[in-house]
Structure 1
Amino acid sequence: MNGFSSGVGFEYRRSDRAEGFNWHFVEMPYGCIRFHRAHFLDVFVKNLPESVAHFGKRLASYNQVRDGIQLEFSDGTSAICDLLVGCDGIKSTVRKQMLNSTGRIELEEHIEPRWSGSIAYRGLIPVAKLPEGQHRALQYPVMYCGKDKHVVVYSISKGTVVNVVAFASDSDKENTCYGDEWVTSCSKEEMQECFAGWEPEVSVLLDRIESPTKWGIHHLAPLPLYVTGRVALLGDAAHAMTPHLGSGAGQAIEDAYILAKVLGAATLNTLDAALEAYETTRLPMANHVLRASAVAGKMFEFNNELGERYQVLGPAIGAQWNYLDETTPEGESMRAVERMREALNKRKLSDSSTLSSRNGLLRNGHERRALLAIMLLLASLAAVFTVGHAIDVVPNVTVSGPTRPPTLTPFAYAFPNCKSGPLKDNAVCDRSKDPVTRAEALIQLWTVPELIANSVHQAPGVSRLGIPPYQWWSEASHGISWTGPGVIFAPDGDFSYATSFPSPINLGASFDDPLVFQVGTVISTEGRAFNSAQRAGLDYFAPNINPWRDPRWGRGQETPGESALHSANYVYQLVNGFQGGIDPSPYIKVIATCKHYAAYDLDQVGDVIQRNFSAEVTTQEFAEYYLPPFQTCVRDAKVKSVMCAYNAVNGVPACSDPYILQTVLRDYYGFPDDGYVVSDCDAVQSIYENHKFVNSYQAAAAVALNAGTDLNCGSIYGLFLQQALDQNLTATANIQKALVRQYASLVRLGYFDPPELQPYRQFTFADVGTPAAEKMAYDVAVEGMVLLKNDGTLPLKKSLKKMALIGPWAQATEQMQGNYYGTAPFLISPQMGAVTAGFNVTFVEGTGIQDGDTSSFSDALEAAAQADVIVFAGGIDNDVEAEGLDRTDISWPGAQLQLIQKLASVGKPFVVVQFGAGQVDDSWLLKSKDVNAILWAGYPGQSGGTAVADVLTGKVAPAGRLPLMQYPADYVNQVSMLDMNLRPNKTSGNPGRTYQWYTGKPVIDYGFGLHYTTFSLQWQGLPALAYDIQALVAKAHSAAHLDLGSFDTFGVTVRNIGHVTSDFVSLLFVKTTAGPAPHPNKVLIGYSRVHSVNPGAAAIARIGVKLGDIARVDHNGNAWVYPGLYTLSLDVPERLTHSFVLVGHAAQLSDFPAPPASWTVGADKQKHSASKPAAIWDEHTHDEQQVLRELR
């Protein structure tokens, strides 16, 4: 589209002060379409079919007569039409006459527009007039927020012009009369005075506006009707709204789309039914958006009940666009036509007069013509900015399916041609050479501008060399996702969906490593199939492997849980599945990206957000807890991409820290030059803007590149690397090295090689969403279910037929997917699952997730009283926990616990199904005898409703284990989320974190999970009583690394002595007082899941333990095997134990790189003696023999 600009979200800054700061970012995977009025008109004029349009005809009045509607124009002429569509704007003549003609007094308040109490200063700035010709708004829209004021800035006209709208509000004047012309010119001084004291970034913008205008912002009260007779209202005539959601024009376009659809199915005889269907469909949604826009404006100016509570305000702002998730124009049009059909069928009209496109008003089904004609009338709306669903009337825009927001034309994915053209004789096409050499041969041909242009995630390629554009940013946390810009789902048909697995936290709860590998294999297969159709790249920004340190973190759902060992095993299997093996040859399947490196597990605490937070960690805990998953990912699984995090570590932003990116990642872990480091998106920008680590964008780009950030997800490299070169802040060789790493990884993917030689290039849509993949998604959902309480009520008896299904999760569909999801082939809600299972279901929501509404309690209790069994489906969702949204409260939100307590008193069998990743305090539920069972379901994906129903009925048995501890609600008052220390500290009041270090009593312990049957456990042969450290280390030298050497494999006989076939997860822990104090409560060192153990049968769980699993980490980050007494414990709570001793001298397994002096964690914390610890148990210690005698 000519003049088109787009973005993926809104950045929010607090700006009514001398130094502003970013406090939230609202991602908009649907995109923000921004274009000038003239470009908007050009598109529709070009696509308008041949027809007659009359201009300059101002309507004075109309009369509904027998033959139609008589129109009287202000020039004295008249005309008759079959249908009048009033899209004549906020001061609509049609609306005034329509509402007055009803004679209804209550409609008088809807006739005239109302002043919102806000004024807006508006102006355009050519980019060339901006400081140094750049601005952050060229990347995405920016909202500068202050008390009672806000400024929105975004680019239009292909990024050549910046539009500025500065709002000032007085809530006391809302709905009063505006005493001036609606639009006037004003002086620059008036505008600047209004925003005096705001940060310089805003002042500079306002100063660049040459001729500002001043607008009184008006809107309508929500109308109760859009149609009378054959007259309909559309666009601003029906629902003029404030511009705060950028959705006014979008709503008008959707009006036109729905109206065209029903008119295309109507005859003159059925026109009234068509208009009624239009009104019934559009009025509720448009009024919802109208109200949401008003609410959003108050939020931007901290003028609603959320005030300045950034942590909840940001997500609440994002939620104002949630309507985009709930519906699509295509879906609404189908509903409108169906409503029309139902109305006509009630009249018992014949089929020929009901829905005839052949004989209808719009012959030959030309709804498109009707739509374009209506759109021409709408041109006066002149959308400068619109957010919403795209409509299929413009080339280059596609319409989505029901769960896929629309996007622009697919990115032009292609492959270089090594058979002919500029590259055919270059070494990059020589398959006999190694990937780095091939990439070097290519990159040495590039000019500096070409290098810089391709240093960002949306790389334009080098057309003169036949290098096509490439989008590095795609997402696939638990299935191919449209969250990033790299994956393009089709609106329908092939490639309109992909398998949507349960969230990673559910996969973690399964403790099934082979299943993790299988999931990774399916995701990569579907990713390759999308790539074959030019709908996805080959690089995915997944998985998230930050251990879940604090229960408040909103992104824990993206991880397998709180155990570093479990996270390490998870990433090994997932990367193996993604990449098609461990460092496979000749080709990698798709590239995984291990994120977020490192010590990232916080999004917002007050004014502290992930972009300005410095994680203060000791070297000991850095090496012991925060880094092991990354070590496994890089060193062992051979991943080809690592994402550096937003946060700083001990004062140094992660993406600018050569210690983290070079010393640890490349030198210590061995990350090769056919792998690249990518910044988290806009993390390079944050080095300057948020962390204030450097004093310019140029310096931020240079320090990141010099440290080892090869690819900038964002635009800072592209905008500022040339200036950084000019200022001698970096060197061209550094840019070349970064691009060599990127393109060497593409060589590994077969990017330059003949497709016929590559099996992965042969995948098609037939490999997407296969029956096997659907079965696997269901299996993950089932295996991840955790039974937290059961008094024998579950599985439900077959005699229980009438179910009262109550709660805010009962009808969940897209909620089941958590975050970072794509379009699923289907989504089965808990209600649908229960109905399919044969229950007679009565549904009552009862209350929302967190709104505190109790008005429907009586309905819920009435339904419960009439039922055989009560199932409450509740918990938390992405309105409570999400990226950018950490919790401040870990109890049940809203009025849910209150409703649970009332339902428990009904006296019927009562089951609570708890959804969401983060745990909520279940203390009351566990203690209450009236709550019979609790089932944790997490985010169970596309088949979640079926999986829940099958577990409740006993079709399958739950055997998952909780992959994180459930803390008491008061935990949030005991330790700040900013405190990164795991170990308890009496001085600070930190009670310790995770099951390893928490000194309080957990509500539910890590690894807990009940079954429908009973298992007995027995060691398969008595484990050894003593191990010689030196012998173990000597044997470990045959492994790739000492910590990977085998310690022992423990066999456990798992016997089902109950009556239900079930899986069983064996969790093996160790505890010891050997090594540096303090000592952990226990440490997970291995696990194994056995499947489908029948009643009376037994299975052998074999748990392999590596030498590194029993090691302790010293204050310098080095892993040691210490002599001493160790005790194994199996299951939670422990049911099988065994003690042994390690004898000999302590042995060092690793030599962790010493951190730089620049780290802000003080010398007292960082510097400790590196001397070898003395032997605690050696061959000359008499106590050893005594301990052995006691063990025997």
Structure 2
Amino acid sequence: MKLTLQFKKPSITLVLMLIIGIWNSYSQSQFKYQNTSLSNEERVADLISQMTLKEKVSQMRYDAPAITRLGIPTYNWWNECLHGVARAGEATVFPQAIGMGATWNPDLMFKVGSAISDEARAKHHSFANSSRRGIYQGLTFWSPNINIFRDPRWGRGQETYGEDPFLTSKMAVNFIKALQGDDPKYLKVIATAKHFAVHSGPEKSRHEDNYHTSNRDLRQTYLPAFEAAVNDAKVHSVMCAYNRYNDEACCGSNLLLTDILRNEWKFDGYVVSDCWAINDFWEPNKHELVDTPEEAAALAVDRGTDLNCGSVFDPNLTEAVLKDIIKEDKIDLALSRLFMARFKLGMFDGDENVKWAKIPYSVVCSPEHYQLSEKAAREAMVLLKNENNMLPLNKNIKSIAVIGPNADFEQVLLGNYHGTPHNKITPLKAITKKLPNATVYYSQGSEIAEGWPLLTAIPSANLKNGEFSGLNGEYYQNQNFEGKPSFSRNDVQVDFSWLLKKPIEEMKSDDFSVRWTGELIPEETGKYRIGLKARTGGKVYFNDSLRVDFTNEHEPKTGYFDAELKKGKAYTVKIEYTNHHTDSQVHLLWAKTDKNLLEPAIEVAKKAEVIVLCLGLSPEIEGEEMPVVLEGFDKGDRSEITLPKSQIKLMKEIQALGKPTILVLMNGSALAINWAGENIPAILEAWYPGEFGGNAIADVLFGDYNPAGRLPVTFYKSVDDLPDFKSYDMENRTYKFFKGKPLFPFGHGLSYTNFTYRNFAVPSGVKPGEQIPVSVEVTNAGALNGDEVVQLYVSLDESNEKTPIRSLVGFKRIQLKAGETKIVKFNISSEKYAYIKENGEAEIRKGMITVSIGGKQPSFSGIADASSTQVITKKIKITN
């Protein structure tokens, strides 16, 4: 008998469900590390156990490649968000960090950090969803810079929150917390506290310098902000510095990375090197600690550097293990820290599991973020001087002259390490909008510095491509101009910011190149500077001669050359631009350098009722390790702290006209504006104020906002008041130790209203180790609403040359309506009134301490004394 079995034909839906179920089961169980029910420690250990040595080493460089067989996608660790998501397309640009420091408002700092991390998450997922995982597209951000701005000559001081460790700590902790988020399982993004440690210039010798300090200065000045970042903010990444400290390279320092960071502070995140810092270990005329790249890589990892911004680790670590210079378990330890970070960011889990992945792209450049940027810019404004209440100005004036190299220069809004803003509201634009019924005159007046003209895009009228105005552009879908161009077209100008949308449609990467050719024809005979500003790399051939050539830039760079040109003569020009970044930018620029800028400024000033002088510095001449060599400037730093001579001459000529004149400063570091302090009646410090900076300036000038910013740095009178730049001894540095008379002290800032203090309550004595409760009543005694920054300082009466004159131990920015009174309270912890011994240990000593509270430091006179606020001091006895 034959047995026949009959089966029912399954439905297509059922088959598909079975296939999907089998595939999901397979994909989820393919690797143990993909099981989300396991702990991150188990997942990391499983993943690393399956890697070869070569694969492990490949993941310790910032541009880590994919390991396809293990399901690991490519990842680039390099991203920046100092004051907004940087170099990743259009983003909200907030005031530069030094301006944020001037707000003295940690709550605002938290809101700014939250907005930045929202934009960061939205951008990352947008990139990842289109398979873009390159530089500036990840979730690991190398911000904030919490070094102490100990010397105004340092070009990168603009990236910090100022000269005080306590102020820096409070601002940094809130920024880091906002970046990393509050989710117990997943980090929002990873913040990086940099540059660890004892690092603040000079820029030109940072790759070779060896700094020494006392343990007292190390503990009292250079470490507190980092300790707060680790212990209070739980920062997940730390970047080590270029220089040596006490004979050890910071990225190979047992003291810094092992003894202090890991053992003392219990830091459990990862350490990343500053970019190409490991090369300095062996390259000639640098640190020269070892002889070979293999030894350098091994030294860095052995001492605690886990990730290399650079290319030293790969393949040199592999060789170092094979040569038994370092054990493989050291590689495993570093790698476990790096993959722990990626797991905590949710990079190996589905987006549906990570709440931060649900942030919509609409947050980027949203109205709310724009409002926050403008608010931050307003709060950063510091009114330095206001003689006879010249400010605020009357909006009914009929004419005003806005003069100066920073009056309508968009770059000066941004500082360094910035994103690409949609708005670029300069003082000229904002004042013009503010006064629709007035005549607004403008003149540049001077160069930013002698020999540094302001370059602008070369107009179409001066470019020729056959019968067309402009240049012929050939666009290639690769970086090397290979093959035939995807298309050719006439571009009326070379002045492009492509941001997220590339010039070649349907591109799957950020790699492309463009070649422009044609002629340049000037309308005037004279001396010119011709420049190319580009994101990653560019060349300019002029009359068939290569005149500009730079490659692999991460911050937009301007290469330039000088030439004498004749009116109507045609000069051949060829530009080659290569791109591999998200934020694609290229600009062909020029300026006529023998043009008289002063006379037109004087002429427009004569026509106006009021003059606003917009002077200061520029991120083009102060910043990170620049090739700039000008009088008063030195490779990104400054050798003088005065305004450049060209601007001083302009200021004196304008002031001599006898018209009401206001000076607006836009800069990233303190300026010795002594002559202005004596002769210009009103001075406003605006910093690099972000994309809405012009609005903030105009609002303060015309009384729509009452300024309340405070200086986060000391304004000295001369470079002669400063110690040697390379000395990291704190003697005679910052408000804590400077024994001279500053032009404007740390904490200085005026208001359009007046604040009074009374009922300052403190105990007459406390026992060592006890907290000191403090309270005071603050009243807005003027007619305008305004903010006051209440500042609390402690001085140890038993002092010597190493004891601070006073130390900031508390501050709070409060809002007070006209006539309103608020009670402000603080608790001074014992560590804030401890004496720091030479070995760095804290000791509570019996004796008297002085406590002062008010809207400023005590003991100043003249313009250095803020007349719109008060200060009260009392003595407290520390007893048994």
Sort the TM-score into its range (normalised by shorter chain). 0.7 to 0.9
SS of the aligned residue for 1:874 comes to strand
- Residues of 2 paired with 1:773 and 1:1101: CA distance? 30
Would the aligned equivalents of 2:851 and 2:876 in 1 still touch at CA under 8 Å?
no
- Residues of 2 paired with 1:916 and 1:419: CA distance? 57
Count of residues in correspondence between the two structures: 682
Show the counterpart of 2:107.
Answer: 514
Correspondence for 1:1137 among 872, 877, 880: 872
Distance 1:894 1:1138, change over 3 A: closer
Show the counterpart of 1:275.
Answer: none
Would the aligned equivalents of 2:143 and 2:194 in 1 still touch at CA under 8 Å?
yes
| Structure 1 position 999, deviation (Å) | 1.3
Residues 35-59 of structure 1: CA distance to partner in whole angstroms, max 9, x if unpaired? xxxxxxxxxxxxxxxxxxxxxxxxx
Distance 1:681 1:1019, change over 3 A: farther
- Residues of 2 paired with 1:1061 and 1:638: CA distance? 37
SS of the aligned residue for 2:795 comes to strand
Distance 1:725 1:611, change over 3 A: same
Correspondence for 1:659 among 241, 246, 255: 255
Residue 623 (1) aligns with residue 252 (2)? no
Distance 1:721 1:926, change over 3 A: same
Show the counterpart of 1:544.
Answer: 145
| Structure 1 position 1048, deviation (Å) | 3.7
Show the counterpart of 2:776.
Answer: 1052
| Structure 1 position 508, deviation (Å) | 0.4
Show the counterpart of 1:891.
Answer: 642
| Structure 1 position 899, deviation (Å) | 1.2
Q: Which one-letter code corresponds to 1:502 in the other structure?
A: P
Q: Which one-letter code corresponds to 1:814 in the other structure?
A: Q
Show the counterpart of 2:68.
Answer: 463
- Residues of 2 paired with 1:547 and 1:688: CA distance? 28
Correspondence for 2:307 among 689, 706, 711: 711
Distance 1:923 1:858, change over 3 A: same
Residues 647-687 of structure 1: CA distance to partner in whole angstroms, max 9, x if unpaired? 11011100011221111001101101xx1100001011111
Q: Which one-letter code corresponds to 2:272 in the other structure?
A: V
Show the counterpart of 2:434.
Answer: 837
- Residues of 1 paired with 2:32 and 2:871: CA distance? 61
What are the residue-to-residue correspondences of 1:209-224 with 2, within 5 Å?
A: none
Q: Which one-letter code corresponds to 1:663 in the other structure?
A: D
Show the counterpart of 1:1105.
Answer: 828
Show the counterpart of 2:727.
Answer: 979
Correspondence for 1:955 among 667, 690, 704: 704
| Structure 1 position 943, deviation (Å) | 0.2
SS of the aligned residue for 1:1089 comes to strand
| Structure 1 position 1062, deviation (Å) | 0.9
Q: State the Cα RMSD in Å.
A: 1.9
- Residues of 2 paired with 1:643 and 1:421: CA distance? 39
| Greater relative CO, 1 or 2 (CA 8 Å, sep 6+) | 2
Residue 879 (1) aligns with residue 620 (2)? yes
Distance 1:1104 1:770, change over 3 A: farther
Residues 581-611 of structure 1: CA distance to partner in whole angstroms, max 9, x if unpaired? 3xx4111110000000001100335xxx111
Highest Rg: 1 or 2?
A: 1
Q: Which one-letter code corresponds to 1:935 in the other structure?
A: L
Show the counterpart of 2:425.
Answer: 828
| Structure 1 position 1078, deviation (Å) | 3.2
- Residues of 1 paired with 2:95 and 2:799: CA distance? 39
What are the residue-to-residue correspondences of 1:632-711 with 2, within 5 Å?
A: 632-672=228-268, 675-689=269-283, 690-711=286-307
Show the counterpart of 1:782.
Answer: 378
| Structure 1 position 464, deviation (Å) | 0.2
What are the residue-to-residue correspondences of 1:803-818 with 2, within 5 Å?
A: 803-818=400-415
- Residues of 2 paired with 1:577 and 1:1049: CA distance? 29
Correspondence for 1:726 among 300, 304, 322: 322
Q: Which one-letter code corresponds to 2:60 in the other structure?
A: S
| Structure 1 position 1142, deviation (Å) | 4.5
What are the residue-to-residue correspondences of 1:26-105 with 2, within 5 Å?
A: none
Would the aligned equivalents of 2:856 and 2:871 in 1 still touch at CA under 8 Å?
no
Give the structure with the larger strand fraction: 2
Q: Which one-letter code corresponds to 2:718 in the other structure?
A: A
SS of the aligned residue for 2:637 comes to coil
Residue 1017 (1) aligns with residue 757 (2)? yes
Show the counterpart of 1:56.
Answer: none
Q: Which one-letter code corresponds to 1:1081 in the other structure?
A: I
Distance 1:458 1:422, change over 3 A: farther
Show the counterpart of 2:81.
Answer: 476
| Structure 1 position 1049, deviation (Å) | 4.5
Q: Which one-letter code corresponds to 1:1009 in the other structure?
A: G
| Structure 1 position 445, deviation (Å) | 0.9
| Structure 1 position 856, deviation (Å) | 2.2
| Structure 1 position 1111, deviation (Å) | 2.3
Q: Which one-letter code corresponds to 1:1123 in the other structure?
A: K
Correspondence for 1:760 among 345, 351, 356: 356
Distance 1:887 1:757, change over 3 A: same
- Residues of 2 paired with 1:1049 and 1:766: CA distance? 46
| Structure 1 position 1109, deviation (Å) | 2.3
| Structure 1 position 961, deviation (Å) | 0.3
TM-score, normalised relative to structure 2: 0.75
Distance 1:1099 1:716, change over 3 A: same
Correspondence for 2:53 among 443, 448, 453: 448
User: Aligned residues: percent identity?
Assistant: 34
| Structure 1 position 1002, deviation (Å) | 0.7
SS of the aligned residue for 2:812 comes to strand
SS of the aligned residue for 2:402 comes to strand
TM-score, normalised relative to structure 1: 0.56
Show the counterpart of 2:841.
Answer: 1118
SS of the aligned residue for 1:621 comes to helix
Residues 200-221 of structure 1: CA distance to partner in whole angstroms, max 9, x if unpaired? xxxxxxxxxxxxxxxxxxxxxx
| Structure 1 position 1054, deviation (Å) | 2.0
- Residues of 2 paired with 1:801 and 1:715: CA distance? 61
Unaligned regions of 5+ residues in structure 1, if any?
Answer: 1-416, 490-496, 984-991, 1033-1046, 1145-1177, 1179-1192
Residue 967 (1) aligns with residue 706 (2)? no
- Residues of 1 paired with 2:876 and 2:55: CA distance? 62
Residue 864 (1) aligns with residue 605 (2)? yes
- Residues of 1 paired with 2:749 and 2:61: CA distance? 45
Show the counterpart of 1:1065.
Answer: 789
| Structure 1 position 517, deviation (Å) | 0.7
Distance 1:873 1:1095, change over 3 A: same
Would the aligned equivalents of 1:1016 and 1:1054 in 2 still touch at CA under 8 Å?
yes
- Residues of 2 paired with 1:500 and 1:444: CA distance? 43
What are the residue-to-residue correspondences of 1:838-857 with 2, within 5 Å?
A: 838=435, 839-851=438-450, 855-857=596-598
Show the counterpart of 1:613.
Answer: 209
Distance 1:710 1:1142, change over 3 A: farther
- Residues of 1 paired with 2:801 and 2:682: CA distance? 40
Show the counterpart of 2:164.
Answer: 563
- Residues of 1 paired with 2:262 and 2:96: CA distance? 30
Q: Which one-letter code corresponds to 1:522 in the other structure?
A: A
- Residues of 2 paired with 1:979 and 1:442: CA distance? 47
What are the residue-to-residue correspondences of 1:19-418 with 2, within 5 Å?
A: none
| Structure 1 position 764, deviation (Å) | 2.2
Correspondence for 1:573 among 157, 174, 185: 174
SS of the aligned residue for 1:824 comes to coil
SS of the aligned residue for 1:787 comes to strand
- Residues of 1 paired with 2:852 and 2:252: CA distance? 43
Would the aligned equivalents of 2:202 and 2:725 in 1 still touch at CA under 8 Å?
no
